[in-house]
A and B are shown apart, each in its own frame.
Chain A
Amino acid sequence: GENVEQHPSTLSVQEGDSAVIKCTYSDSASNYFPWYKQELGKRPQLIIDIRSNVGEKKDQRIAVTLNKTAKHFSLHITETQPEDSAVYFCAASIEGGGADGLTFGKGTHLIIQP
């Protein structure tokens, strides 16, 4: 089955600086890669996703890059703000397959220092 590794487990950055979280996956058949933000005790919220036919996607301060050959993808947050503090999860799945439940990374606790 799929295995998703995520680093770092904790990331502390100064407000206004950029944050980068990296993930690798093992199953070359995976073609859908979402990123979720989860605040304590709440539901995961989708912040951005990318499919394997695209190398990069951007939405305002958030961007995701995908390297299919190396099987890794990264989340980039620019101009970080205090409200960006949360746990971020990457995930992978095979979209359109019969079993497309998400395999999640272990999460990154992002701390924005004022």
Chain B
Amino acid sequence: GAVVSQHPSWVICKSGTSVKIECRSLDFQATTMFWYRQFPKQSLMLMATSNEGSKATYEQGVEKDKFLINHASLTLSTLTVTSAHPEDSSFYICSARDGAGIQPQHFGDGTRLSIL
């Protein structure tokens, strides 16, 4: 149980393109999902907290107009990297938890984004 699916797993695109990443909870309802970014050989950094039916909460230093988050249902959150540039290249991982404020978080497989 507690499976989180993330799609796509790998994206290569040109600078200026917008890229959408989907995060789905397959066997549970996730009122809250989280988006993290991980640069090579570094730790995971929380970007934003996504709550179903409301606006996402962004961490300090993360541009909300650059990283658009939509959590329209209890099983799906999307992250759109708008007008992506090479410095946005990274490993993006979502996670979800299935209880009201109860951990643990279950992670997706991640999306490797490469901007040329």
Contacts and interface: CB of A to CB of B under 8 A. Distances in A.
Asked whether A and B interact, the reply is: yes
The residue among B60, B105, B107, B108 with the most chain A CB atoms within 10 A of its own CB is B105
Contact of B57 (A32, A42, A99, A106): A99
A103 B107 CA distance: 14
A46 B101 contact: no
Given A43-B110, A49-B103, 9 more contacts: A32-B103, A43-B107, A43-B109, A45-B107, A96-B102, A101-B49, A102-B36, A102-B105, A106-B43
Given A43-B93, A103-B46, A104-B43, A96 B101 contact: yes
- Taking residues whose C-beta sits less than 8 angstroms from the other chain, chain B's interface range is 20 to 34
Interface of A: 1, 32, 34, 36, 41-46, 49, 89, 93, 95-97, 99-107
A105 B42 CA distance: 10
Contact of B34 (A32, A45, A97, A102): A102
19 contacts: A1-B60, A34-B103, A34-B105, A41-B91, A43-B93, A43-B107, A43-B109, A46-B106, A49-B104, A89-B43, A93-B103, A100-B49, A100-B103, A101-B34, A101-B59, A102-B95, A102-B105, A104-B44, A104-B45
Contacts, number: 59
Interface string B42-66: 1111100100000001011000000
B102 A95 contact: yes
